[in-house]
Amino acid sequence: MSLGSDVCVVTGACGFLGQRLIRLILQEEKVAEIRLLDKTIKAQLLQSLNECRGDTKLNVFEGDIRDADFLRRACRGASLVFHLASIIDVINAVDPNEMHAVNVKGTQLLLEACIQENVASFIYTSTIEVMGPNPEGEPIFKGDEDTVYKSSLKFAYSKTKKEAEDRTLQANGEVLHSGGRLATCALRPMYIYGEGCQFLLGHMVDGLRNREVLYRTSLPEAKVNPVYVGNVAAAHLQAARSLKDPQKRNEVGGKFYFVSDDTPHVSYSDFNHVLMSPLGFHIQDKLMVPLRFFYIICFIWEMACMMLRPFCRVVPPINRQLLTMLNTPFSFSYQKAKRELGYTPKYSWQEARKNTVEWLADQLPKEREKLWRK
């Protein structure tokens, strides 16, 4: 089912995934209009998109996701919303109230704007972290949407994303002002990598500081299955097509789907090495300290930061929950998305790795120069 002459709103349009999704829509669909919604939108992005937009209109909406009037203006006359915008934080550096306001309240306001402005379809970008891992580090091997798991979410990020996801799915079937009904679904990607991934870039910079040796923070047996950004974008587009299809709309609406691909299952640390070894990087053989002592160090850091909180906000570089995430086997299948959405990875592992390594290779001399100047 083609999106045809749809008017699409993409929140978080300037983000890592947002840019990739917009390019894919322009490549594969002749939509009437794409509305880029973000706090600020750089002229360079618009210029690069203009080169491939064809007859599709690109309109900029700069503003705050917490502004209800702004969201109504952005949604007026639209038929489809891709809601990608959120605060991402895995070290608890962001104030929890700020995160809740953006991730939860912003999502609720956007859903309300869709209902008021008769937007038919709403796709929410969730995350694997709404599933866990839990503080006990209980593993999941090739889980699916029916996997039962005691999440016990601790991160403000994972809690707010789960609440926003729940609100999105609960809004499925809400009556629009026109009398139609809103259809919603949520996608839960694994850890997303690819060109533009700032997490990968940060690990590479840390490795440069450590004489081209990557730090090991994950045990080799703690295998996960990262997903390439191009395939996540493809899953979003396929979800939009499914929600537009009258025969699939009721089947897909109100559901969440895990999004992965055929990237090999490895630990987070070893995955960094897989991508950076062609650039001359090595990796530590073992954790810097045994895992049990690593937890003790994190606990001491956390307590010290808590004691300093009345005077200043200090955030430890790693905490116990993040350490658990990095050292828990946690992998999921994309088979339900394949069956119900028609999703299949657009890019093979070989293509994804090649594209990512080439991007990292392009960034390497720039990051070397930055460090040299310091």
Domain harbouring 104, CATH code: 3.40.50.720
> What is the value of pTM for the model shown?
0.95
The total number of structural domains that make up the chain: 1
pLDDT at 318: 86
Which position has the token pair 């609720």?
A: 108
pLDDT at 5: 85
Catalytic residue among 124, 149, 157, 268: 157
pLDDT at 100: 96
Residue of 78, 110, 82, 71 whose CA lies nearest to 15? 82
163 inside domain? yes
pLDDT at 1: 66
Which parts of the chain register pLDDT below 70? Answer: 1, 374
Three-state DSSP class for 201?
helix
218 inside domain? no
pLDDT at 181: 95
Three-state DSSP class for 365?
helix
pLDDT at 340: 97
| 3-state percent helix, strand, coil for the chain, nearest multiple of 5 | 45, 15, 40
- Whether 157 is a known active-site residue: answer yes
> Residue 237 belongs to what domain range?
7-196+227-264+330-349
Q: How far is CA 29 from the centre of its chain?
A: 23
322 inside domain? no
308 inside domain? no
- Tell me the two tokens of residue 348: 């093979």
Q: 252, 169 in Cβ contact below 8 A? A: no
301 inside domain? no
142 inside domain? yes
pLDDT at 205: 96
211 inside domain? no
176 inside domain? yes
